[in-house]
Structure 1
Amino acid sequence: MTTFTALPTDIVDAYRAGAPDAHGNPPERHISNGSGNPCRHCLRDVPEGAEMLVLAHKPFDGTHPYAEVGPIFLCADPCVRSSGADLPQILTTSPDYLIKGYGKDDRIVYGTGAVTPRPEIADRIAAIFADPKVAYIHVRSARNNCYLTRADRAP
């Protein structure tokens, strides 16, 4: 069983209050066009016409060669943090996603990365978690490599 882990509310609230992003810049404010703006907190698209934040985020602690930084979107207004085993809405809007496993040391476990068609996400995640070296999985955009969400083994 898998749990999809959204960004923690305290981190999102800090960004909403103007905390600097991974590059030291304040989050930019834009208006969502209603599609292609997936919030990494509620794991849903930011609604059309709603204000959103755009910022650089690094979903890792510390700095090292595998600590990728990339753009993310967040609802500018408070939203409910997503949690659970159900496939989040933001993983249902593209034909495929980049999925790759990471070890406890936050390094990619080579051989786990694959662009995966949407209907095969659950099976691919299960196959990656079959490798005991994998501690968690990142799901990213297959088109832009943007971080979407983290998958963890359910307790």
Structure 2
Amino acid sequence: MLIRFVAMPSDQAAAYRAGADDANGMPPERGISDGDGIPCRHCLQHVRQGEPYLTLAYRPFPRLQPYAESGPIFLHAEECTRAPESDVLPDMYRGGFEQIVRGYGHNDRIVYGTGAVVAPLEICTHAYSLLERPDIAYVHIRSSRNNCYSCRIERG
């Protein structure tokens, strides 16, 4: 495995489901999926039509600092199985729209010049090329349309 997709940790997902405040200090909002474009950041699958989900502000960084972006995400409102760490592109990206793929340094800050809008089938190749660089610690995927955090990619 050269790269691995890393979903939201299960303890964080469980905390939000139990009502923990999000990155903005607000409780997650609840909704019912219409079956269109509600990707869960824990199982990396779409929330099916009729299933409950949460919308919340998420900041996937260990501490506050100027580059610690937050953004809206979706999460199954009921327990789901965390996506296994794998080098296989998660289904939620297949057939979708372009994503922002961006490298971060060991200090959890954006490495300038690494961000690119990438077609779904090019995500693995682009992420791998970034992770070959010693100054890149990990990569984030974000929606190119809404800037929502999607998942993290690390070296395999």
The TM-score normalised by the length of structure 2 is 0.96
Q: Which residue of 2 aligns with 1:89?
A: 91
One-letter identity of the residue aligned with 1:143: R
Report percent identity of matched pairs. 49
Separation in structure 1 between the aligned mates of residue 9 and residue 88 of structure 2, nearest angstrom: 18
Q: Which residue of 2 aligns with 1:20?
A: 21
One-letter identity of the residue aligned with 2:115: G
Find out whether 1:29 has 2:19 as its counterpart. no
Q: Which residue of 1 aligns with 2:118?
A: 116
Q: Which residue of 2 aligns with 1:9?
A: 10
Moved over 6 A (4+): none
| Consecutive unaligned residues in structure 2, runs of 5 or more | none
Separation in structure 2 between the aligned mates of residue 57 and residue 77 of structure 1, nearest angstrom: 18
One-letter identity of the residue aligned with 2:89: L
Q: Which residue of 1 aligns with 2:80?
A: 79
| Consecutive unaligned residues in structure 1, runs of 5 or more | none
The TM-score normalised by the length of structure 1 is 0.96
Alpha-carbon distance, 1:152 to partner: 0.5
Q: Which residue of 1 aligns with 2:102?
A: 100
Q: RMSD of the alignment, in Å?
A: 0.9
Aligned residues: 154
Q: Which moved more, 1:90-99 or 1:132-141?
A: 90-99
Q: Which residue of 2 aligns with 1:151?
A: 153
